[in-house]
Amino acid sequence: MLIYYRHLVVTQSELLELRMHPTEDFLAAVAGSHSLRDVTKITFKKTNPNLLTFEFAGHGREQYLVEEPIDCIKSIREAIASYLQRADK
């Protein structure tokens, strides 16, 4: 069984999920993409704080296991706020 490691990448307007190649370093494919505007909620449970649940408008929910959940949430919230400020101008 192959395990694909994934990375979350925040751009100016999107949240990307990159799936790393199992044997080639520095090679990845975009496995998912969501507009920052579509992120409606980010949560985690106290019993497993590294498992983040993202809710997307019109796209359901997705869960990601992250190493630094608080920093991840903070970065994404800042990106969303910045994106919404630019979109309102």
Domain span at residue 75 reads 6-88
In this structure, is residue 41 part of a structural domain?
yes
In this structure, is residue 73 part of a structural domain?
yes
3-state secondary structure the chain: CCCCCEEEEECCCEEEEEEECCCCCCCEEEEEEEEHHHEEEEEEECCEEEEEEEEECCCEEEEEECCCHHHHHHHHHHHHHHHHHHHHC
In this structure, is residue 84 part of a structural domain?
yes
In this structure, is residue 74 part of a structural domain?
yes
**Predicted confidence (pLDDT) per residue in 10-25, tens digit:** 999 999 999 888 888 8
In this structure, is residue 1 part of a structural domain?
no
**Predicted confidence (pLDDT) per residue in 59-86, tens digit:** 899 999 888 999 999 999 999 999 999 8
**What pLDDT is attached to residue 4?**
63
The enclosing domain of 36 has a CATH number of 2.30.29.30
**Predicted confidence (pLDDT) per residue in 39-65, tens digit:** 999 999 999 999 999 999 988 999 998
Residue with tokens 């990448």: 9
CA distances 19 to 9, 31, 87, Å, are 11, 6, 29
Q: What is the pTM of this model?
A: 0.82
Q: CA 47, CA 34: separation in Å to the nearest integer?
A: 27
In this structure, is residue 22 part of a structural domain?
yes
Q: Name the pLDDT band for 2 (thresholds 50, 70, 90).
A: low
Q: Total domain count for the chain?
A: 1
User: Are the beta carbons of 21 and 30 closer than 8 angstroms?
Assistant: no
